[in-house]
């Protein structure tokens, strides 16, 4: 091989492209695997709903009725998902989030419904937080001057954990970012004999702008913001510190939320711990891709798999994503 002046140009000895020539070869040497059993589907169930209600800011996602929730859970089983994460939307809210601890509360009855229907085939998880149930929209109870009272909130979280365990949940997901929440929940569960109920701790949860569509999904009543208890997006080391604290308190799985803007934190956490690591591909990340695809700017299906693969590549063992069902279908195809 010669250049334009006739001089000999050495041929490359190493050719990485050899391993990219066919889909079979690319699959053979792929460093990261994405499989349905690594995916968890978050689902919303609305008290009193008679038909699924579309969420305008999250195309393709709905607030379920109790019946449609079961149908979606069966679909999750059929497609081989690893689990579902349940969120409840009550008809009535109050300052203490009483619907979260009531046995007849929508989230607790939904847990019982889903566990009875598919509990042997699918890991049933539940969000353990007060924000969907409080009229002020915060993740805890408030002091008279409007601040979130960390330690009073821990008492309510313990009650909520027992209500969910009594309902049959297999794994609780404390997401409120209260100091000591995992220890309070683990102590309550173990003290009541629920030693087999696992804890998926939202350990590094950031005060992110990417939660916007989720607020519509749960009919949020939030007044103000959550920056006094969720983490500052500027901090990565702090995320690892929060994770280590939760493990010391009894967390079985730790999670980083959001995922895409915090892939570096996912990697730091994965390198720091020896328990499974989850990441939550949140509503804003979902809706950005959906909006871009709707405008014809990106290839939607390729983007979905690329996003989820990036989260796995960063080190997440488990990915919570609203695309779980669709991704499973794409992977099987």
Is 0.85 topped by the overall pTM?
yes
Residue 139 domain-assigned (yes or no): yes
What one-character-per-residue DSSP string does 211-258 give? Answer: GHHHHHHTT----S--TTTSBPTT-SHHHHHHHHHHHHHT-SEEEEES
> Over 90: is that where the pLDDT of 281 sits?
yes
Residue 308 located in a structural domain? no
Confidence bin at 223 (pLDDT 50/70/90): confident
Domain encompassing residue 227: 34-255
pLDDT surpassing 70 at residue 46: yes
Q: How confident is the model at residue 3 (pLDDT cuts 50, 70, 90)?
A: low
- Tell me which DSSP letter residue 85 carries: E
With respect to residue 1, please indicate whether it lies within any of the assigned structural domains.
Answer: no
224 pLDDT band, cuts 50/70/90, is confident
What is the rounded distance in angstroms from the CA atom of residue 201 to the CA atom of residue 182? Answer: 7
pLDDT at 62 > cutoff 70: yes
Domain count across the chain: 1
pLDDT of residue 2: 66
Looking at residues 219-231, what average pLDDT do you find?
A: 89
Average pLDDT of the segment spanning 63-87: 98
Q: Is the pLDDT of residue 65 over 80?
A: yes
Strand 62-64, strand 53-54: pairing? antiparallel
Residue 43 lies in a domain: yes
- Six token digits for residue 176: 């409120």
Q: Does residue 261 sit within a domain?
A: no
Decide if 118 is inside a domain.
yes
pLDDT at 225 (0 to 100): 87
- Give the chain's end-to-end CA distance (angstroms, integer): 42
The answer to whether position 303 is within a domain reads no
List the CATH number of the domain containing 198.
3.20.20.70
What would the pLDDT profile of 128-174 be if each residue is shown by its tens digit?
999 999 999 999 999 999 999 999 999 999 999 999 999 999 999 99
Of the chain, the percentage scoring pLDDT greater than 70 comes to 98
Tokens of 30: 């792929």
According to the model, what pLDDT value does residue 7 have? Answer: 75
Per the listing, tokens 């929730």 go with: 69
Does residue 185 fall inside a structural domain?
A: yes
d(CA 157, CA 128): 7
Q: Residue 189 has which token pair?
A: 């569960």
Provide the annotated active-site residues: 205, 257
Tell me how crowded residue 243 is: count the other CB atoms within 10 A of its CB: 25
């Amino acid at each position: 091989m010669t250049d334009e002046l006739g001089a000999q140009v050495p041929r490359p000895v190493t050719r990485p492209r050899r391993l990219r020539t066919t889909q079979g070869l690319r699959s053979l040497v792929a460093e990261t695997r994405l499989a349905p059993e690594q995916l968890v589907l978050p689902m919303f169930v609305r008290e009193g709903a008679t038909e699924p209600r579309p969420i305008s800011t999250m195309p393709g996602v709905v607030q379920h009725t109790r019946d449609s929730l079961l149908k979606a859970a069966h679909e999750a089983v059929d497609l081989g998902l690893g689990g579902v994460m349940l969120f409840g939307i009550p008809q009535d809210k109050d300052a203490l989030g009483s619907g979260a601890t009531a046995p007849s509360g929508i989230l607790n009855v939904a847990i019982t419904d889903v566990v009875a229907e598919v509990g042997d085939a699918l890991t049933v998880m539940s969000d353990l937080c007060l924000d969907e149930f409080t009229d002020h929209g915060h993740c805890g109870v408030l002091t008279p001057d409007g601040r979130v009272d960390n330690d009073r909130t821990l008492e309510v979280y313990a009650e909520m954990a027992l209500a969910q365990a009594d309902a049959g949940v297999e794994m609780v997901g404390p997401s409120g970012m209260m100091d000591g929440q995992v220890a309070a929940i683990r102590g309550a569960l173990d003290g009541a004999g629920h030693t087999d109920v696992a804890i998926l701790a939202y350990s590094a949860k950031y005060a992110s702008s990417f939660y916007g569509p989720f607020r519509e999904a749960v009919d949020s009543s939030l007044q103000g913001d959550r920056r006094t208890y969720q983490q500052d997006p500027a901090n990565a080391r702090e995320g690892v510190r929060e994770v280590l604290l939760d493990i010391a308190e009894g967390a079985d799985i730790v999670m980083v939320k959001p995922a895409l803007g915090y892939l570096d934190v996912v990697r730091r956490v994965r390198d720091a711990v020896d328990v499974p690591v989850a990441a939550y591909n949140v509503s804003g990340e979902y809706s950005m891709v959906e909006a871009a695809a709707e405008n014809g700017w990106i290839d939607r299906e390729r983007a979905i798999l690329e996003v989820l693969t990036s989260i796995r590549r960063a080190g997440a063992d488990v990915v919570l994503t609203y695309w779980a069902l669709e991704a499973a279908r794409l992977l099987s195809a």
